[in-house]
Structure 1
């Protein structure tokens, strides 16, 4: 790979599995590699102080988020925080009322009298607290839903920008893909709102913890042995957390992989049967029984290892570890009851109060320790959420692997009317992650306005030439010149604006047919020009037969949803599930291109129409036409019609056309390049190559004989 990139959004040295500082662990079929990092001390798992320290580095992104939210719905955020604070204070107030009730019981035991006015006042206070807490939680949920919805809509544009700006090799980088994936909400909460709620919940949990601790100390001081019992209960909790501490935490840099062929094949079978892309072949080939048998066999062989990485990871973390601390903490579980028994023997008259106080102490101490645990977990969650927030903002700054040039192109906008020249000088190229060369030391030159046809078998390197011309990738070595200028020095937007390209592995966007064609040149996409481009691409006739015409979605981006109950299932009350009736009301459903019955040739004509839209409507802008196997799915007649329209479209523009077929276009070519095994083996005109009687001539005769 060429060019710089952000290998990781975390700080610190880059991850290297071959480094001595990398720890290797086995988790079932998985190999886990963790970059060793210094640990401050052996504390409970949620007290990873080095992770919490990252919160300080991530706080600027939180301030940035708050600034953005203030412009959208700042008043709602303030109201949400006020409600949060109220909710955090109510438990302490409720605890104070519990202490007052305990005092009333103490007085009743000692003095045989009850202050009814105080009793009703305290009981009423507890009722008011319960009602207030219920109302506050209700308002919190309502405000939270509104805030989350507004923030999700606002920040979705940021996510769209972050993803749209990435070039192909950067987007294919698994590190970048992981960073982008962490920015996209996987549930109902977006990253920004998740970070805000995480911080606010942690802060209010701390406030709740402090107020509860103050009230608890006040209550316990008035009870015999209260602080002692509370300390024993707290010690039991702390020992239990340390005893079950897991040392399998992941560091800031880690990676996991598996080479188990049974597991890999099992996952492949799962994807095969869950993807609609393979359903026709699966059903037509009658493969379900054999695939099911093989899947069961693989599951049996793998046993407990037949699970994904995260399942293995969490299973290992949750295994209880027997240690000395597990044995030491056992007496602490019984000490509160022992202390109560001794107290009852010493003060038999106060047993009713002792029972009430023991219950209060155990209940409040348990709630207190749970709040402590929750605060620790929330603090760790805040570190993760702020880290995700940082990735969310930094995703817009990921450096593309293909660097932009600085020189405008063309210097004179009118020159593109007469085409552009292009030249490859000793160009070699390997795709990222591949050891094999897709191109090896190829050199050729195409003058302005010429038609160059690249022929050869599949995999010979034809498509790669076109991808390098569009700078989808950069060369591994060598130089590409456009109008005599190094292609890497030209501004990418200018370069790509000056060309129209159709790839062999073209894609149809999950938009309407009109939009699929119009995106060839959105600025000039009037209905009339879109229809003209459809006609030139050979798609107008079948589009007219579609029920919704140009408004038809080839692949509908929003799928219909149905209940999970199978067809003809009888419900509890004997009614039969009938999805067909539902589909009738929904217009028959929308499942994608399969419902339209479009052939591969028709789909390819839509892609060709998009290219015509760009090159015919924007003629002054486009000087280079690149077509990669545009007739691969067309019948001979449609192919001949397409070639005729391409020759008409070309005019004075430069055209590079790749194909494995030898047709009428080669007879009109100014330059033919025959490629095989990443090399250019023959160059010349059609007549010159036939006279040379090499591989091109042999393949030409072979294809010609097939039509005789």
Structure 2
């Protein structure tokens, strides 16, 4: 559906309210297109049967009033941008001048007709007038060229300033949203509509340009109409020819092939052979499947099945738009198409009748016919462009409303009011954490991630949470960091409800490494420095954190060291390279499937092992928390050694013990070892609940599940 919406101008209104339900036979028309495709079109109201009413799309205008407060806010924001009104005034003046040029040219064309008429009647030519008219038309053409150039020169800095201003708003929205809000599919859709990722222009600039263009188009129409009426006043049958030409142009613009793209529609297929054919085509085209296709000797079967599907489907083995075009060609022409043909010929017939009746006026009538038909065509196209522009304006106004609503989006996790902690130095002794009958489900999930979980970790304790994947270990850490709030129960920090504390203060007091650790599309130095952005220029501290994280050795071996990008955010584009070019700018060349067309990008990521990537993430955590810094009182580690070998894991735990000091530290892990032996408290989880709790020795004596798994792992090393 997206392809159809953007295939032509004047596509589907994405801001429209309501729901499109293909099962609703009263509102949706179903058409079978060949053997494969099924088309569902929204049934059109009676108003839509009026010629070219689809272009008007009256429903677009209903929401204009609601969007006006947001448009007013947009104008005030634009006014606050430096020198914006100056550029906007210049742009407006240029567009006004451009809108008047066609009328001026038309007036001079009328003057040429007058000269021709005088020459026929009096057999004389006013050479001075002819020179002035001709030179004036040339001057108009040159002025149009210069004004078009000025329009581009003015619009570029204006667009750039507006885009930069709203990019800051966009970045602020994207950066500040909490996890539940950002993960909401409705919010994601709202953000994409408000800040399209693939747009070179902001909706603000499109709206400004659209409003100005709509005004200039209206001025162009009025000025052309005024001049055309003056020209037709002295032309026999001129008004009749103009009306016939105008009617033909209007009917031509309302062609059947465009009607689909001005309505709400959807197309799908349930044809098993076509679905299989498409899957086979995709499988052989994607490099990810190549090794298995070759190693499994699958190509003969795949080729046989592809040929079978092609033979069954025949001409219908094509994408929707190709099949729909063929389907349209088989339909009988509409009434508008039938009547359009004689209308196209009528101006010539009127001219011929006039020439037979008055042979002496043939030169004048011929020039008049050419001027009137070309002007009528231009006028009708301009009129339809005005309709399209007004519809686009209403869409842009609605998108502006969505943009400002996105800017004002509230986070799902409410902020507290109480500063934390009262005494900053108290963090050196750690933080106490308590869960009281906490239950939690992730959004869109039906099963509990935690069920009635209760425990208490005293200040300065080392707690290890054990359990299989999916048992709820990581969820405990996410709730402590208030990435989510529990559905039931209460979480206490230092014996106070966690929800009462300011979020920024609370998270500032924690250093967290999640199992799904993140690497930012920045340099290694900046990836580590983000652990404590306030010390991002302190290279000594960055290298110290890398050493503690076990990453310094392999980072220093990299060609660019700490300035190496893990995933380079700027792509290299190139085309037309010789086949022997294997690398460019120090990165491997990937020609892709289409060579020499447009830009292509290189392989821009740095290849590091999973363990090395995890050490960089650990270094960021060490950057955040050190014994000498009292700003962190709680250290949370979610599977911190998952990608490390046993030696690296042992070294990591030794460094973490040094890092800890007297602070509270919570680990989640599925491994048993020295860490659990030294833990003050062990929480053993299974199926979202805590099944055992205590120290290592106490749990071994209890002889439960913890003791059983500990003994199993111990036997593996005997």
Compute the TM-score of the two structures, normalised by the length of structure 2: 0.84
CA distance in 2, matches of 1:585, 1:601: 23
CA distance in 2, matches of 1:657, 1:464: 12
2:682, 2:694 within 8 Å by CA — same for their partners in 1? yes
37-46 or 546-555, which moves further after superposition? Answer: 37-46
* Cα distance change, pair 62–548 in 1 and its aligned pair in 2 (3 A): same
Question: C-alpha displacement at 1:445, in angstroms?
Answer: 2.2
1:403 equivalent in structure 2: 414
CA distance in 2, matches of 1:292, 1:191: 51
2:369 aligns to what SS in structure 1?
helix
Question: C-alpha displacement at 1:287, in angstroms?
Answer: 7.0
1:52 equivalent in structure 2: 61
Question: C-alpha displacement at 1:364, in angstroms?
Answer: 0.5
Question: C-alpha displacement at 1:48, in angstroms?
Answer: 1.7
1:478 equivalent in structure 2: 489
CA distance in 2, matches of 1:313, 1:482: 63
| Deviations 1:119-153 (CA, angstroms, capped at 9, x unpaired) | 11111110110111111111112222222233333
CA distance in 2, matches of 1:159, 1:464: 30
- How many equivalent residue pairs? 682
CA distance in 1, matches of 2:358, 2:626: 100
2:232 equivalent in structure 1: 220
CA distance in 2, matches of 1:312, 1:472: 49
2:471 equivalent in structure 1: 460
Match of 1:561 among 573, 592, 597: 573
* Cα distance change, pair 377–168 in 1 and its aligned pair in 2 (3 A): same
* Cα distance change, pair 192–539 in 1 and its aligned pair in 2 (3 A): same
* Cα distance change, pair 585–32 in 1 and its aligned pair in 2 (3 A): closer
* Cα distance change, pair 230–319 in 1 and its aligned pair in 2 (3 A): farther
Match of 2:390 among 379, 392, 408: 379
2:374 aligns to what SS in structure 1?
helix
2:568, 2:604 within 8 Å by CA — same for their partners in 1? yes
Question: C-alpha displacement at 1:103, in angstroms?
Answer: 1.2
> 1:229 aligned to 2:245?
no
2:625 aligns to what SS in structure 1?
helix
119-128 or 449-458, which moves further after superposition? Answer: 449-458
> 1:599 aligned to 2:612?
no
1:437 aligns to what SS in structure 2?
coil
> 1:538 aligned to 2:550?
yes
CA distance in 2, matches of 1:458, 1:20: 44
- Please give the residue correspondences for 1:48-127 in structure 2 after superposition, counting only pairs within 5 Å: 48-70=57-79, 71-73=81-83, 74-127=85-138
CA distance in 1, matches of 2:300, 2:394: 43
* Cα distance change, pair 17–620 in 1 and its aligned pair in 2 (3 A): farther
1:480, 1:487 within 8 Å by CA — same for their partners in 2? yes
Question: C-alpha displacement at 1:284, in angstroms?
Answer: 8.4
2:22, 2:40 within 8 Å by CA — same for their partners in 1? no
- Please give the residue correspondences for 1:111-150 in structure 2 after superposition, counting only pairs within 5 Å: 111-150=122-161
* Cα distance change, pair 58–42 in 1 and its aligned pair in 2 (3 A): farther
1:196 equivalent in structure 2: 208
> 1:445 aligned to 2:447?
no
CA distance in 2, matches of 1:212, 1:381: 23
CA distance in 2, matches of 1:614, 1:98: 76
> 1:662 aligned to 2:672?
yes
- Please give the residue correspondences for 1:281-360 in structure 2 after superposition, counting only pairs within 5 Å: 286=294, 297=306, 322-360=333-371
Question: C-alpha displacement at 1:537, in angstroms?
Answer: 0.9
- Please give the residue correspondences for 1:603-642 in structure 2 after superposition, counting only pairs within 5 Å: 603-616=613-626, 619-642=629-652
2:598 equivalent in structure 1: none
| Deviations 1:588-626 (CA, angstroms, capped at 9, x unpaired) | 9974444xx421111101101111111217842222211
Question: C-alpha displacement at 1:518, in angstroms?
Answer: 0.8
CA distance in 1, matches of 2:504, 2:347: 74
417-426 or 135-144, which moves further after superposition? Answer: 417-426
2:28, 2:43 within 8 Å by CA — same for their partners in 1? no
1:480 aligns to what SS in structure 2?
strand
* Cα distance change, pair 306–697 in 1 and its aligned pair in 2 (3 A): farther
| Deviations 1:44-63 (CA, angstroms, capped at 9, x unpaired) | 11212231343443344444
1:159, 1:184 within 8 Å by CA — same for their partners in 2? no
CA distance in 1, matches of 2:285, 2:86: 46
Instruction: Provide structure 1 residue ranges, at least 5 long, that are not aligned to the other structure.
Output: 1-8, 569-577
Compute the TM-score of the two structures, normalised by the length of structure 1: 0.85
| Deviations 1:393-422 (CA, angstroms, capped at 9, x unpaired) | 332112223232333333443332222222
- Please give the residue correspondences for 1:172-211 in structure 2 after superposition, counting only pairs within 5 Å: 172-182=183-193, 183-184=195-196, 186-211=198-223
CA distance in 2, matches of 1:193, 1:642: 53
2:684 equivalent in structure 1: 674
* Cα distance change, pair 539–385 in 1 and its aligned pair in 2 (3 A): same
CA RMSD, 1 decimal: 3.9
Instruction: Provide structure 2 residue ranges, at least 5 long, that are not aligned to the other structure.
Output: 1-12, 591-600
1:151 equivalent in structure 2: 162
CA distance in 1, matches of 2:102, 2:528: 61
Question: C-alpha displacement at 1:339, in angstroms?
Answer: 1.8
* Cα distance change, pair 264–141 in 1 and its aligned pair in 2 (3 A): farther
622-631 or 49-58, which moves further after superposition? Answer: 49-58
* Cα distance change, pair 470–261 in 1 and its aligned pair in 2 (3 A): farther
2:654 aligns to what SS in structure 1?
helix
Question: C-alpha displacement at 1:664, in angstroms?
Answer: 0.9
1:246 aligns to what SS in structure 2?
helix
1:502 equivalent in structure 2: 513
Match of 1:428 among 414, 435, 439: 439
| Deviations 1:664-689 (CA, angstroms, capped at 9, x unpaired) | 11111122122222232222221222
* Cα distance change, pair 584–501 in 1 and its aligned pair in 2 (3 A): closer
Question: C-alpha displacement at 1:554, in angstroms?
Answer: 1.6
* Cα distance change, pair 618–21 in 1 and its aligned pair in 2 (3 A): farther
681-690 or 218-227, which moves further after superposition? Answer: 681-690
* Cα distance change, pair 398–367 in 1 and its aligned pair in 2 (3 A): same
